[in-house]
Structures are given as C-alpha cells and as structure tokens.
Structure 1
Amino acid sequence: MSFRIAYLGPAGTFTEQAARRWDPDGRHETWPAPSVPEAIAALHEGRVGAAVVPFENSVEGSVPATLQSLLEADGVRITAEVLVEVEFSLLARPGTALEEVRVVATHPHAAAQTRAWLARTLPRARVVAETSTARAAQLVGEGEYDAAVAAPGAADAYGLVALAEGVADRAGAVTRFVVLQEGAPVPAPTGADRTTLVALIWQNRPGALLELLEQFAIRGIDLSRLESRPTGEGLGEYCFWIDADAHLDEPRLQETLVGLRRTTRDLRFFGSYPRADGRVPTVPAHADDTAYAQASAWVSSLGGSSPLTGPAGARGPTRR
C-alpha cells in the first residue's frame, strides 16, 4: 500500500536522504515537513503514513526536538532506523568570494560539527541557526544569508555553488534517523534489534538509577544508549531515554519490562526494530531463550500459578 512519508524539510536535507534510503524503490511520495513536531503531527492526524526524523548524531548527541515531540505523542512507534554519513559543504550564490562571507546559516547540529572549521576559516563571520541545513541553503538562494553549511546536494536544489567541501571538524560523523509510524505492529525479531524506552523514576533518591539499570544487568541486556532528559514538570524532574539491545519478543526483555513497570512511575515503549548496523548482541548463557524456557518449565512443574500474573484474575495497579 502506497502512502506519503514526511521528513524534515525542505528538499535537500539529510533527513530526505534517510527517507529515500528507507524507501529505495520510491514507492511512496515524500512530503517535506517544516519541523519535526509538524512531521509527527501529520503522522498522528493520518495525513502521512510514516515520518522520518533525526534522532541522534555521533558527534553532537540526541536531537532534543525529536525526543520532546515523541514524549508528547501517543501511539507513535519507531519501526526502523537509518544511518547516514554526514558530509557538509559551504554553499553560496554564484560569484560570492569566500572573503565576502559575513553571515553563515545552518542547523545547530551542523554548526556544532563545523565550529572549529568556521572559526578558523571565517573568523569574522556570524553563524545563525535555522530549522535545517536545507532551509539555510534555501534562504541563501533567496539572498537572506551569505552562505550555508549544508549537504552538498542542496547546491543544485537552490542554485548555489560550493565555496568549500568536506567542511567538518571530525570526519566520519554519522546521524541516526528513525522511521515513525502510528498503530504499526512491532517488526519481527532479526537477532540484531534495538528497543527504545523512556522511564520515569518514582522520585529522585540515592540508588534510583541503579535499581533501574539492575533490571537490565541481571537479565544480560546491554544498553547502547542511556540519557537523562527533563520531563518539563519542574527543575530536577528527569526521565531516562534507553536503547536496549534486545527485542520485545525475547523473554529476557519481557521480564525486564515487567520489572521496570513495577518499579518506575511511568514506562513508555517506543518500539523494537532492526538495528541499521546489523550488530548482533552477545547474550549470556543464563539469559538466552533456552535458559528462560527451562526456568519457566521448572516453575510450572511446581504446580503453582503463573509467576507473572499470580492467581487467576489478579491484576496489579494500572499505569499508562
């Protein structure tokens, strides 16, 4: 079934590259959203069938706009991820000389990845933030700025030329993009999967984070990402974004989720999906499916009720 894919626009962004890599045959129409929140809003309203948004960068870290928008969205899940190697050029209108550049526009993440280069090459230039690198290039084409740090492909899109290529403080930077869908089933496990969660502890006290991490450690689940972010409820109120190297179908992760659900104030599940790099985690012998099956069979042999649900009809407290 064909549908529209929203991506952080305008045309020429790295997010557009990620969207086209996820849909290499071009079966779906793409739509450039003006911002990450508007891309997710279009998904929630049914105007698009998927949204591709930046999630984190190997140099600058997570993308706050995406994390905050996901926290505010209900029913949206990550179903895939795409990795794009980031390469920047300094783009300007034809006829512009490097020494004439006084104002450079770009996205804040791109500015962070080219800060030293810009300071060294254009020490007198002022850097201004735009919603995307492509939007910066678009505004250069319209005459609002002198130059933009953007993807090389944005030059053709907006009639610009490259004053410099390979602009970066550190080569090989990679941005991770995620594909969002609403009401989509969890993709089948591949053996190289990632699960994204957000956990809110009951209260800030000594050992609270340790208790959360122990839920993963004792079940042999590695975390590829752990980040604290403000909840917006007040100073000192934080939630934890977690990427776990396991799939929802694995007993070890299911047991972990039960433990987290009991011991946290709130737990949000944002999806289990294949890792773009295909890395297969190392699972300790005591935590693989065979070990769980043997342990479950032993408990059943004792003649009691389910160790997770308790006596028939019993229910724990319900939380979102």
Structure 2
Amino acid sequence: MSETYSYLGPSGTFTEAALAQVPEAQGKEWHSVNNVGEALDDVVSGRSVAAMIAIENSIEGGVSATQDALANIPGLRIVGEYLVRVQFVLVARPGTTLDEVRVVNAHPVAYAQTRKWLDSHVPAHGHIPSTSNVAAALSLFENDLADAAVAPPQIVQHHALEVLAENISDNANAVTRFVLVSRGAAVPPATGADKTSIIAELPDDRSGALLELLEQFSTRGVNLSLLQSRPIGDALGRYRFVIDADGHITDERVADALLGVRRFSPKIIFLGSYPRADRSPVEYVPRYDNDVFIEARDWLRALVSGEPEA
C-alpha cells in the first residue's frame, strides 16, 4: 500500500508548497483535505503516515486551530518544520484588466495582509471573504460576483487564471511555519540545530504561576522561540501554553527543563524534538553545556556513595 501524506488543499496552497519540501513525501500519494482536523484525523486513523499543517505565521502569530488540535488529539508528534514565504498575487479570469476590478475575493487573513496594496491600486473595491486562498481564486470560475482574487503565486500552475499583479503583500518578509505531524514515534537524533515543542498547563490561576513555568527554562539557559497562551475551555482564567524551546530533548539543559516543567505542570504534552527549518545551530551559554550537567550529577552521586572528594 502506498504511503499517503495529507495537506490542506486543493492544489496550489502554501501547505502544498511546504509538503513539496519533504524529501520522504516525493513520489508518494498526497491527499488533499479541507481543514486541520481532517488532516490530523487521517494520521490518527492511519490513512496517512503524516500531515502537513500550518502552526505559526510571522504576521498573524500562532494558528489557534492547529494548537488546539495538537492539545486535544493524543499520540501526535511533530517530526519536522518547514518555512514558506507568504506572497500573494492578484488573479482574474482571462481577459480581465486591473482597471476593471471592482470586487475582490480573498480569505480574511490574505485580505488583511494585502489591504494596503488593494486600497492603493484598486480604490473603493469591495471584498468577498473566502474559505481559503485557493477557493478565492476558484470562485471566479463558479460565479461573476467578484472580478479578481487574492491567491498564492503557484495557483497559475494549476488553473487557467491571469495574473494582474505580483507581490501584492503589504509585508514582503511574511513567512508561515508549517509542521509535519505523524503518530507517536521515536524521537529523531539531535542535530545541534533542533527545536522542542510542548504544551503545558498552569497548576492554578495565581500570581507568579507563569513566571514559575518560564523559570524552568531560564534557569537552565534554554531560549524559547514561541510562547502562546490558549484557553483550556473549562473555566475562565485557565490556560495552557504552547512552547517552542531551542534544543533537543536529549540535550541535558532541555531534558532538565522538561523535568522541571513535569514536576510543576498538572499536564504536559510532548509534541516532539525535530530539526529547525533554518538549520541554524542553537546557541547557549557554555555553563549550560551537556558536560556541566553530567559533571554535576557525577559529583552528587559521589557524595551519596561516600566516595572521597578529588
């Protein structure tokens, strides 16, 4: 049976572009789904070996639907991360010119990221919200309610659309971070350029609780590249925190920090340790090197066993 990878479709999405970066997925079957829940259900049920999902955007922040799904679906592991530059084009049916555009189809997030350009180049335009970036473009073939659509550049590789304008994003540096999620498996070995993701709950709603959580990392010299709160949903003031820590679970400083969080948090979900998308080596202060932690444990063990001090 062929291995299958799920992604948010249809063809032409940024998610598909992220999946195209996965060497193991090349030549395998790709299954287009409608939302994050469906993609992860494919993984849990075994229909797919892994799913590519968006987890963070440099403009909008964390993707709450993905974070909440990872918090509530057990047995999932992040096995890799991939970055896709988010650029948009304005497309239309063949024969349409820019000065003819009066109404634009766009996903609300895409519209927010191109609003300044649209206001400048298509004054007094109307906006019709769409369910996805690709759906915005495909709706041009389904009805004539809109004259153009904001869509990913790769859309023209799959559909007969005409590009009216390129690079219409208001922020040229916008990037979306995607993660490849699989079922629980052995953690890949450390590379020196890794990231560890967890979700942790606070024990109670009180002054200093969040500080105590963060101290588990700061006192071990572990940098956090993401810290985002999400409501647990059972009561006001109850939050879980999505955390990305620089380093691998087998790094002594990271392992010790996770042990501290485990003692502190009533619930901690380990999402995985995996190579960073930018392959940039993790930097840390030398006093938090693996050898320092190992030497300290050996020193304590010697004291307990009664060995004479050197």
TM-score (norm 2): 0.93
Q: Tell me which residue corresponds to 1:195.
A: 196
Letter in 2 for 1:110: A
Question: What letter is aligned with 1:165?
Answer: E
Deviation of 1:225 after TM superposition, in Å, equals 1.0
Q: Structure 1 residues 232, 9: closer, same or farther in 2, change over 3 A?
A: same
Counterpart-to-counterpart distance in 2, 1:25 and 1:75: 21
Look up the SS of the partner of 2:304 in the other structure. Answer: coil
**What is the identity, as a one-letter code, of the residue corresponding to 1:225?**
L
Provide the C-alpha distance between the structure 1 equivalents of 2:18 and 2:8, rounded to a whole number of angstroms. Answer: 10
Whether contact under 8 Å (1:35, 1:131) holds in the other structure is no
CA distance in 2, matches of 1:233, 1:203: 13
Runs of 4+ that moved beyond 4 A: none
Task: Measure, in 2, the Cα distance between the counterparts of 1:296 and 1:101.
Answer: 69
Q: Does 1:208 align with 2:209?
A: yes
Residue of structure 1 equivalent to 2:177: 176
Report the CA distance between 1:170 and its aligned residue. Answer: 1.2
8 Å Cα contact 1:92-1:141 kept in structure 2: no
Distance 2:92 2:236 in 1: 42
AA of the residue aligned to 1:147: A
Cα pair 2:55 2:179 within 8 Å, conserved: yes
What is the aligned partner in structure 1 of residue 17 from structure 2?
17
Alignment partner, residue 308 of structure 2 = none
**Residue 194 of structure 1: how far off its partner (Å):** 0.4
SS of residue in 1 equivalent to 2:59 = coil
CA RMSD of aligned residues (A): 1.9
Mean Cα deviation higher: 24-33 or 239-248: 24-33
| Matched residue SS, 1:277 | coil
Aligned length: 305
- 2:225 touches 2:246 (CA, 8 Å); kept in 1? yes
Aligned CA distance change for structure 1 residues 24 and 249 (closer, same or farther; 3 Å): closer
Taking a change above 3 Å as real, the CA distance of residues 71 and 165 of structure 1, as seen in their structure-2 partners, is same
Instruction: Give me the whole-angstrom Cα distance separating, in 2, the residues matched to 1:149 and 1:222.
Output: 37
Structure-1 residue corresponding to 2:39: 39
1:111 counterpart residue number:
111
Secondary structure of the residue that 1:158 maps to in structure 2? coil
- 3-state secondary structure, aligned to 2:274: strand
1:56 Cα deviation (Å)? 1.0
Q: Does 1:167 align with 2:164?
A: no
Report what 1:83 is aligned to. Answer: 83
Name the CA distance, whole Å, in 1 between partners of 2:137 and 2:213: 44
Which 10-residue stretch deviates more, 64-73 or 126-135?
126-135
For 1:2 and 1:188, the matched residues in 2 are separated by 26
The answer as to whether partners of 1:104 and 1:125 remain within 8 angstroms in 2 is yes
Q: Distance in 2 between the 1:23 and 1:150 partners? A: 26
- d(CA) in 2 for partners of 1:25, 1:226: 30
Structure 1 length-normalised TM: 0.90
| Contact kept? 1:43, 1:181, Cα under 8 Å | yes
The CA deviation at 1:24 is: 7.2
Letter in 1 for 2:46: G
The letter of the residue matching 1:281 is V
- After TM superposition, list the pairs within 5 Å mapping 1:266-305 onto structure 2: 266-303=267-304
Report what 1:307 is aligned to.
none
Q: 1:101 Cα deviation (Å)?
A: 2.8
- Give the distance between the partners of 1:232 and 1:99, measured in 2 at CA: 48
Provide closer, same or farther for how the CA distance between residues 106 and 186 of structure 1 changes in structure 2, counting only shifts above 3 A: farther
In the other structure, the counterpart of 2:95 is 95
Q: Which deviates more from structure 2 when the two are superposed, residues 159-168 or residues 138-147?
A: 138-147
Task: For residue 162 of structure 1, give the secondary structure of its aligned residue in structure 2.
Answer: strand
SS of structure 1 residue aligned to 2:153: coil
Sequence identity (%): 45
In 2, are the aligned partners of 1:137 and 1:155 still within 8 Å (CA)? Answer: no
Which amino acid in structure 1 is aligned with residue 216 of structure 2?
Answer: Q
Give the superposition deviation at 1:147: 1.9
Name which of structure 1's ranges 102-111 and 145-154 shifts more when overlaid on structure 2.
Answer: 102-111
Aligned letter for 1:199?
Answer: A
Q: Residues of 2 paired with 1:266 and 1:103: CA distance?
A: 48
The structural deviation recorded for 1:25 is 7.1
User: Residues 147-162 of structure 1 correspond to what in structure 2 (within 5 A)?
Assistant: 147-162=148-163
Aligned partner of 1:61 in structure 2 is: 61
Classify 1:166/1:139 alpha carbon distance in 2 versus 1 (closer, same or farther; 3 Å). Answer: same
Asked if the contact 1:4–1:31 (Cα under 8 Å) also holds between the matched residues in 2, the reply is yes
Give, in angstroms, the shift of residue 249 of structure 1: 0.8
Change in 2 beyond 3 A, CA 1:61/1:128: farther
SS of structure 1 residue aligned to 2:177:
strand
Counterpart CA distance in 2 for 1:170 and 1:269 is 33
Residues of 2 paired with 1:6 and 1:153: CA distance?
19
Is residue 8–residue 132 contact of structure 1 (8 Å, CA) maintained in 2?
A: no
Residues 42/19 of structure 1: CA separation in 2 closer, same or farther (3 Å cut): same
